[in-house]
Chain A
């Protein structure tokens, strides 16, 4: 494929995919919300869940973004070193974001810092954000798209603990964030926890944790156990939908971890709101693509 044609094909597909992910939640999130709503017995919680379900149906029927905060657009990319269009990706993802802003339409969520003006296009300095992992010896392009809303970005926090505080300290750090900021961030939440050496390592991992499908587990048995313990523990707090009390608090807890310096435990928490607008698309070198986050996508 000649380069210009290829770039147009990726851009066009990404415009449609970004637009779509703002209107339809991924299969795993829809399934989980359905499961959680059926467990509710408190009338207020049931009314809120009913409103959420009604909203998601209306969004598809009327072809509108289901939440007005369509976020700052973020891409988490695992790009094969042999993917032929790797160098074009930053420019074309920016272009796709700009075009999706008009097509969807998306809310204008890019304010240039210090100059403090809204660009009105959802693109600006380092927005959309692109997080790269280069994968040697493959020719595939794997993209998670994410709409980082203001509400669910607000509880984000990272800090470095001393080893003496241990995983007990990690537990406290996560739980404290749930009852202070988490309850305002549109529960039931997806909670991402990152563990490593310094804050930026932990922070990026905590966000990558949110890109994992619901129901997946950390491959380390202890980390997976801690995911389960935190999920059960946070659910027992009973934040309910909108933080207004209910049977559960979260859709899941995901931990992503790196090794650490012996003197520190870097920890970060990031949350996704109930309207967790993640999309997953994988292109091969011929630009055939597979979308596994949303069944029934047709464009």
Chain B
């Protein structure tokens, strides 16, 4: 099967045939955007310093080497826990028009609603694989909000076949982690009952 590759700017139609569990890749631009950037946009009501309409964000705080003034090298970059951005994400999608949110682990109901309403995906890059991800970065296009420090700066990266990206929330209202959680909870209850047969040490 051919690799499914999205290219920024991404159109809503590009996402129609993509479903949870699919593996995709990204060409074009992606901007790291995490906790404080989300707070600034939603709570502080500041505009993002870059236009990401049709674009992609990465919940990540990279390791960057400064080569020269305004010249940077991507050393290691991988996703951070997406759930931390859950409380802001629906509004974030609405305000920015972002189409692809790359992170780690699942996200919740707000993001699901945002992805369905405004047509966006949440996808997972295998976390901890930060050198694989850094190798997909061709160069760093810009660095904004540098006052936030290395992890929180908005680093816009030109990427080639950035992935594998595993679709966790699609535009059809499905959420892979939430669906899996139902299975995990059932198995957990069984495991709990089994273990309890053997740990009555207080008697």
| Chain B residues in 8 Å Cβ range of A48 | 126, 166
Selected contact of B63 from candidates A70, A183, A229, CB within 8 Å? A70
Q: Is B145 an interface residue (CB 8 A)?
A: no
Selected contact of B180 from candidates A47, A222, A243, CB within 8 Å? A243
0/1 string, B176-203, CB within 8 A of A gives 1: 1100110111011011101110111110
Chain B binding surface SS class? mixed
Assembly CA distance A230 to B82 (angstroms): 27
| Segment at the B interface, from A165-173, A209-217, A282-290 | A165-173
Assembly CA distance A9 to B164 (angstroms): 43
Assembly CA distance A168 to B198 (angstroms): 9
Task: Report the interface size for chain A: residues with CB under 8 A from the other chain.
Answer: 64
| Chain B residues in 8 Å Cβ range of A175 | 188, 191-192
Assembly CA distance A274 to B130 (angstroms): 13
Q: Is B105 an interface residue (CB 8 A)?
A: yes
Closest Cβ neighbor of B163 among chain A residues: A51
A67 touches B150 (CB 8 A): no
Q: Is A62 an interface residue (CB 8 A)?
A: yes
Assembly CA distance A184 to B168 (angstroms): 12
Given contact pairs A52-B129, A172-B192, A163 touches B184 in the complex (Cβ within 8 A): no
B176 touches A244 (CB 8 A): yes
Q: Is A154 an interface residue (CB 8 A)?
A: yes
Selected contact of A151 from candidates B127, B135, B183, CB within 8 Å? B127
Task: Report the interface size for chain B: residues with CB under 8 A from the other chain.
Answer: 55
Q: Is A239 an interface residue (CB 8 A)?
A: yes
Minimal beta-carbon separation of A262 from chain B (angstroms): 10
Q: Is B102 an interface residue (CB 8 A)?
A: no
Q: Is B81 an interface residue (CB 8 A)?
A: yes
Assembly CA distance A237 to B127 (angstroms): 20
B128 touches A184 (CB 8 A): no
0/1 string, A158-200, CB within 8 A of B gives 1: 0000010011101110011011000111100000000000000
Q: Which residues of B contact A (CB under 8 A)?
A: 21, 23, 60-63, 65, 75-78, 80-83, 104-106, 124, 126-132, 134-135, 148-152, 164, 166, 176-177, 180-181, 183-185, 187-188, 190-192, 194-196, 198-202
